[in-house]
Every structure is written in C-alpha cells, then in structure tokens.
Amino acid sequence: MAGTDYLSAVFSALADPTRRAILAELAERDATVTELTSPLSISMPAVSRHLKVLERAALISRSRSGKWRASHLEAAPLREAADWIERYRRLWDSSLTRLDAHLAAVQAAGRATDRMVDDPREIE
C-alpha cells in the first residue's frame, strides 16, 4: 500500500471510538474476541468486524493457538501516524510562537501608548 493510502487506512481505523477502545485494550495485553467483547456494549460479530478493519490497517495481527485466536497490537503503524502528525505539530508550534511574539509586541506598544496618554505633561 502506498504511503498516503496506508496512512488513510490507519486514520480511518482510528476514527472509530470502539476501535480505539480495542487498541487501548490490546496495548495492555493480547486478547481474544471474547475478551475484547466483555468491556464493550456490542456483540462479538461487531467486535470481529472492527478487528478486521484494524487488521487491514495493519494496526493488529491475529494468531491462532488451538481453538483460540488472539489479537496483538502492532505499534509500527501508530508510530508512522504519530510521525506524520509530528511534522504538523512543529508547524503549529512555530506558528503559535510567532503569534505569541506578535501579541507581546502589540501589548508592549499598547502599554507605551497608555503611558504617553497618562503622562501629566500631555495635558498641559
């Protein structure tokens, strides 16, 4: 999958709160569909559908041991999404730093103007 399409699949999978809850659970431990269903208020088939979306986005892998099929969090796609977001966080931080500097200059100019108006010599 191409980089952008890959990130689209990851962000699409992360857009759903149920899938984020599943990932949070898998961050603690590997789990079966039954184990993942218990804290959620949805059916096992619905959890299975969410797991398929997460698996297609490569956010989880699934393994079989006997009759049990456990899901495992794959952190690499999350790291790649975080790295993509990080580039924009730096841009936002830079923009906010420039805005802070501009506001400080405007406030300083306003205080200087206030001092001139408040100066009693101005009234004479």
Write the pLDDT tens digit of every residue in 54-110: 999 999 999 998 888 999 999 999 999 999 998 887 777 777 777 878 888 888 887
- 96-123: b (≥16 Cβ within 10 Å) or e: eeeeeeeeeeeeeeeeeeeeeeeeeeee
Q: What phi, psi does 101 have (nearest 5°)?
A: -65, -40
- Helical residues (DSSP H) of 29-59, grouped into ranges: 33-37, 44-56
What pLDDT sits at residue 114? 67
